[in-house]
């Protein structure tokens, strides 16, 4: 079993909180951090955009990726939300166990 971080961005606090609460309450994530104050500069449909966003940092088991992805897609307000996963290769073992036990 391996643990992972899944990152996503939300355009407003309410959408970020809805996604985070759903993932934790459903048992798909042990914890979701919501980081406010992110300024994103990106190209979308030929235009350079600048937006304030909220970063979601989802702590879960890697095997939950498809379910987490699908849930984010159902709840997200964006047409094309960022959903990327990073495997946790090393970490404090008691904390990693806690993620595994709670997601």
Evaluate whether 35 touches 55 at the Cβ level (below 8 Å): yes
In tens, the pLDDT along 35-63 reads 999 999 999 999 999 999 999 999 999 99
- Fold category of 3-101 in CATH: Alpha-Beta Plaits (3.30.70)
Span 67-77, pLDDT tens digits:
999 999 999 99
**In terms of C-beta density within 10 A (0-12 exposed, 13-18 middle, 19 or more buried), how is residue 1 classed?**
exposed
Query: What is the per-residue burial (b if ≥16 Cβ within 10 Å, else e) of 60-96?
Result: bbeebbebbbebbeebbeeeebbbeeeebeeeeeeeb
**Which residue, 10, 1, 7, is CA-closest to 78?**
10
Residue 1: per-residue pLDDT: 64
pTM: predicted TM-score of the whole model, two decimal places? 0.95
């Amino acid at each position: 079993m391996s643990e992972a971080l899944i990152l996503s961005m939300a355009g407003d606090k309410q959408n970020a909180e809805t996604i985070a609460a759903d993932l934790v309450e459903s048992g798909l994530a042990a914890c979701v951090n919501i980081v406010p104050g992110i300024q994103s500069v990106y190209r979308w449909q030929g235009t350079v955009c600048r937006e304030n966003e909220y970063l979601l940092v989802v702590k879960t088991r890697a095997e939950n990726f498809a379910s987490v992805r699908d849930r984010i897609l159902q709840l997200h307000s964006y047409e094309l939300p960022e959903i990327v996963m990073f495997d946790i290769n090393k970490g404090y073992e008691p904390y990693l166990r806690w993620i595994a036990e709670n997601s």
